[in-house]
């Protein structure tokens, strides 16, 4: 909140707040700031204070004044965001406030550490991931001989052999049969997704993605020049009729799916939908990337496309950042034998190899059962947090549009959550508005919540006040 009598004037504080949001791309290029009257009412200051703050932003070159239209973030401040190939919304009237940028939630993981858990974040709070066995694992693989070997030469191109063996055993527990030779380790699951895209696709290729889905995946594919084909995701899986039409008209090259504990809905694929997807892939000659990022939170018997397909047209992607040691950045993919060398070539071009010491430490954690026991403890804790969060959300007027499951809840607030997100930023809370999860970035009353970070009443009280104030404006 703005602080009267502080070392900086109210105008300086307000200008500094907007300047920081612009630099962090929480206000994107081309977006309109609130009108002077609106901003004064929101911040509890005089219109002259707002005018002085906006003048400071003008002087810094962060915004521009458009005659009879208001103040807008200058396009030149940061590189313009690549737009999705999805059709633009009808109209052309600029929104009152800009959408939160696709990578804003990722940047918030680094810039808001001291402010406590945030409702819109996509990760567990750090204290959930603290374990004594990580230090033990590192000590076991950093003896003088191992440290010298790992430091003075590159690791194996496909990844540490002990980790790939451990991963093959882990996948077998999910009924996914992959040999160590079919597994490639990566710098997190995000690099695995990127390797697949760069190997199998060329600019202009059509790619089917689930909608709602993760904004960073939309942005990544758009940055590579792909044509994004959004497929509505429902309780049983993707809309098969839409997929079939895309196949007939566009001949997509790839389908990217979070089949288990889908982000943001929490839905998991049914056997019938899985079989039909695989039939479409065979009939229309496209590959499927199964992003199983949340595998450690899901039941082992959950339906996975790669298990049914036996890695013929499917490529499995996962990692450990969500459950263990995010800073280690260990991910992996498992692929059909015919694709492994092509995928490995792409990895070599981008990173040569991945850090062997951390991979060896992770292999030890898996082999000793430490990871499995840790994941079980996290799931128990998450179940309790989810129950508390659901009660609080419903008590404060939210409606779950998907049955609560996994780490995320998909809730209807009744108001435009992009506008609500900007309001709550003023009070130190970062939301994940629904528009982030749509390729076309249309307005939405939905938002994604993290059950681990929304189980306290403090956030929900602030949320309800801001939501009710916004609803009262009509």
pTM, two decimal places: 0.83
**Residues in CB range of 285: below 8 A, 6 or more apart:** none
Residue 90 confidence (pLDDT):
32
Residue 99 confidence (pLDDT):
45
In CATH terms, 133-369 corresponds, of 3.30.56.10, 3.40.50.2300, 3.40.50.720, 3.40.640.10, to 3.40.640.10
Residue 26 confidence (pLDDT):
72
Helices (H), 173-270: 188-200, 215-223, 240-250
Q: Which helix (H) or strand (E) holds 426?
A: none
Q: Check: CB of residue 251 under 8 Å from CB of residue 201.
A: no
Rounded CA separation 201/280 (Å): 19
Residue 22 confidence (pLDDT):
81
Rounded CA separation 102/220 (Å): 10
Secondary structure in 3-state letters for 376-393? HHHHHHHHHHHHHHHHHH
Which fold, 1-99? Arc Repressor Mutant, subunit A (1.10.10)
Residue 171 confidence (pLDDT):
96
Q: Check: CB of residue 253 under 8 Å from CB of residue 201.
A: yes
Residue 21 confidence (pLDDT):
80
* Domain ranges for the chain: 1-99, 133-369
Residue 290 confidence (pLDDT):
98
Residue 272 confidence (pLDDT):
96
Specify which residues 230 forms β-bridges with.
209
Q: Check: CB of residue 451 under 8 Å from CB of residue 409.
A: yes
Query: Which tens digit of pLDDT belongs to each residue from 118-168?
Result: 899 889 999 999 999 999 999 888 877 766 666 667 789 999 999 999 999
Two domains, one topology: 1-99 and 133-369: no
Residue 86 confidence (pLDDT):
41
- Residue 321 corresponds to which tokens in the numbers above? 């950042």
Residue 194 confidence (pLDDT):
96
Indicate the SS3 state at residue 365.
helix
Using CB atoms within 10 Å of the CB of residue 344, give its burial: 0 to 12 exposed, 13 to 18 middle, 19+ buried: middle
Rounded CA separation 425/417 (Å): 12
pLDDT less than 70: residues of the chain: 1, 76-116, 146-152, 474
Rounded CA separation 263/255 (Å): 16
């Amino acid at each position: 909140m703005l602080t009267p009598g502080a070392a900086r004037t109210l105008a300086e504080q307000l200008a500094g707040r907007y300047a920081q949001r612009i630099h962090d791309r929480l206000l994107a290029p081309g977006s309109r700031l609130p009108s002077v009257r609106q901003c004064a009412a929101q911040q509890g200051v005089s219109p002259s204070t707002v005018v002085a703050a906006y003048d400071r932003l003008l002087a810094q070159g962060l915004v521009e004044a458009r005659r009879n239209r208001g103040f807008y973030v200058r396009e030149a401040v940061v590189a313009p965001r690549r737009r999705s190939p999805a059709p633009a919304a009808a109209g052309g009237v600029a929104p009152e406030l800009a959408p939160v940028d696709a990578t804003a939630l990722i940047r918030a993981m680094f810039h808001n550490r001291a402010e406590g858990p945030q409702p819109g974040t996509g990760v567990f709070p750090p204290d959930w991931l603290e374990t004594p066995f990580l230090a033990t694992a590192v000590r076991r693989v950093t003896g003088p001989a191992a440290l010298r070997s790992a430091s003075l030469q590159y690791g194996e191109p496909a990844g540490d052999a002990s980790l790939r063996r451990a991963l093959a055993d882990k996948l077998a527990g999910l009924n996914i049969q992959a040999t160590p030779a079919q597994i490639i380790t990566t710098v997190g699951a995000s690099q695995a997704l990127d390797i697949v895209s760069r190997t199998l696709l060329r600019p202009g290729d059509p790619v089917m993605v689930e909608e709602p889905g993760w904004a960073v995946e939309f942005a990544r594919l758009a940055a590579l020049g792909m044509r994004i084909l959004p497929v509505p995701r429902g309780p049983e899986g993707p809309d098969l009729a839409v997929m079939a039409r895309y196949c007939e008209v566009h001949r997509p090259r790839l389908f990217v799916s979070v089949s288990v504990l889908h982000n943001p809905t929490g839905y998991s694929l049914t056997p019938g939908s899985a079989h039909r997807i695989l039939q479409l892939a065979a009939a229309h000659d496209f590959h499927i990337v199964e992003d199983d990022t949340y595998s450690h939170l899901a039941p082992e018997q959950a339906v996975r496309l790669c298990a049914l397909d036996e890695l013929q047209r499917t490529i499995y992607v996962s990692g450990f950042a969500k459950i263990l040691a995010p800073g280690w950045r260990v991910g992996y993919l498992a692929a059909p034998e015919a694709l492994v060398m092509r995928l490995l070539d792409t990895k070599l071009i981008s990173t040569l190899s991945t850090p062997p010491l951390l991979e060896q430490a992770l292999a030890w954690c898996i082999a000793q059962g430490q990871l499995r026991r840790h994941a079980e403890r996290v799931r128990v804790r998450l179940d309790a947090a989810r129950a508390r969060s659901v009660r609080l959300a419903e008590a404060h007027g939210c409606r779950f549009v998907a049955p609560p499951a996994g780490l995320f809840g998909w809730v209807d607030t009744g108001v435009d959550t992009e506008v609500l997100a900007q309001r709550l930023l003023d009070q130190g809370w970062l939301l994940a508005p629904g528009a982030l999860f749509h390729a076309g970035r249309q307005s939405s009353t939905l938002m994604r919540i993290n059950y681990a970070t929304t189980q306290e009443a403090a956030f929900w009280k602030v949320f309800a006040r801001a939501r009710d104030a916004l609803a009262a404006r009509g």
